[in-house]
Amino acid sequence: MTPDSVQSINDRQNDAEHIRLLHAADVEHAQAQHVESARWLVAFIVSVASLAAILIPDLRPTAVITGVIATFLTETVWPFVTKNFNNRAVLLQEQFDTSLFKLSWNPDLGRRVPMVHIVDSAKKYAGDEKRNWYLDVRGIPSPIAETLCQRENLIWDADQREAWAWRLVVGLAAWLGIGLIISLAAQWFVWQLLVWYVAPTLPAASLALRSLLQQRSVARTKTDLRERIDETLQSLTPETVSQHKLDELTEALRLRQDKIFRSRLDSARVPDRFYNRLRDRFETNHQIEAEHFKSIWVDERDRRKGD
């Protein structure tokens, strides 16, 4: 590994071109998030209103029908709207990654977003600068630097999805517990529990269950990919690395990026507020881990130069 092999990811990810891609992707993600948030809001309002209507005997049939229809709309029609915005955001993120890691574009994943559309979306961005998107990998040789960036993306997303999934588990458990308490207090039969509680609240419950299953599925996929990276990196040290192993790692970058892309297509989302609460802690933890890898590759290389 020569000095020329050292990746300049940290410099390039902060140039105007890559920052523009991140800004555009964030705008598209925000639009998808707004659509998904509206979906949750509608499901929750309909569920609460339908459950309240159950208290009035004459409104019970209407409440049940409303709950079922709302569930159909939020589970079948709404996802297509979210998907359109999400797919554009995923393509923009893919353009950022492939450009940053100097990977070839895979046409099977879709077409690149035209520059004019990127510029238009980026102009709507009003957040922070989004500098240093990936870890500080300065001094770590390529393709190990790119692999570590992919690893960070995988573990970051998997961890926040798992954390959100547990909140959904708690919410669903509370929903079921409330239903059982009401059923016992009112001395309902099972059919009454299903018709007068489950059906009216089905929009929110089904959405939570669907999100839980999707979050767990994506998290498992990303965890599996991260574990494979860990297995590869554990066998690589400055003493054991060879050009053949580095070539294999380079070939794996594109294949792994394809899998990351496909996992991003899943429209299940983590709420922004929840993500922002975790962000500082996650960034600190990941930077500490980056320093660990730098101590292996950068410090060891400097030591060998000194010898």
**DSSP assignments along 152-166, one per residue:** HHHHHHHHHHHHHHH
Interhelix angle 144-186/202-234, nearest 10 degrees: 150
Residue 1 located in a structural domain: no
Q: pLDDT band at residue 83, thresholds of 50, 70 and 90?
A: confident
Which residue has tokens 């983590």? 270
The contacts of residue 59 (CB under 8 Å, 6+ apart) are 53
Looking at residue 166, what is its pLDDT? 96
Looking at residue 214, what is its pLDDT? 92
Taking residues 9-19, what's their average pLDDT? 91
Taking residues 81-110, what's their average pLDDT? 92
Residue 2 located in a structural domain: no
Containing domain of residue 255, as a range? 8-306
Q: pLDDT band at residue 299, thresholds of 50, 70 and 90?
A: low
Taking residues 161-176, what's their average pLDDT? 95
Taking residues 301-306, what's their average pLDDT? 52
Q: Is the dihedral of CA 79, 84, 85, 90 positive or negative?
A: positive
Taking residues 43-50, what's their average pLDDT? 93
Residue 35 located in a structural domain: yes
Question: CB pairs under 8 A, 24+ apart, for 55-61?
Answer: 60/196
Looking at residue 80, what is its pLDDT? 82
Report d(CA 45, CA 203) in Å as an integer.
9
For residue 162, give the nearest of 274, 244, 251 by alpha carbon.
274
The contacts of residue 149 (CB under 8 Å, 6+ apart) are 9, 100, 101, 134, 135, 137
How many domains is the chain built from?
Answer: 1
Residue 3 located in a structural domain: no
Looking at residue 271, what is its pLDDT? 84
Report d(CA 229, CA 251) in Å as an integer.
13
First to last CA, the chain: 16
Looking at residue 2, what is its pLDDT? 40
293 or 3, higher pLDDT: 293
Residue 248 located in a structural domain: yes
Residue 243 located in a structural domain: yes
- Least confident span in 10-24, 67-81, 172-186: 67-81
Residue 146 located in a structural domain: yes
User: Can you read off the two tokens belonging to residue 32?
Assistant: 């998808």
Report d(CA 69, CA 77) in Å as an integer.
11
Dihedral in degrees, nearest 10, Cα atoms 29, 31, 33, 38: -170
Is it the case that residue 245 has pLDDT exceeding 80? yes
> 141 — phi, psi (to 5°)?
-70, 155
Looking at residue 285, what is its pLDDT? 80
Is it the case that residue 220 has pLDDT exceeding 90? yes
Task: Give the mean pLDDT of the chain.
Answer: 87
Taking residues 69-89, what's their average pLDDT? 87
Looking at residue 4, what is its pLDDT? 39
- Please give the C-alpha separations between residue 176 and each of 10, 75, 171, 215, 290, in angstroms, as whole numbers: 48, 20, 9, 20, 43
Report d(CA 122, CA 16) in Å as an integer.
11
Looking at residue 235, what is its pLDDT? 79
For residue 90, give the nearest of 216, 218, 212, 208 by alpha carbon.
218
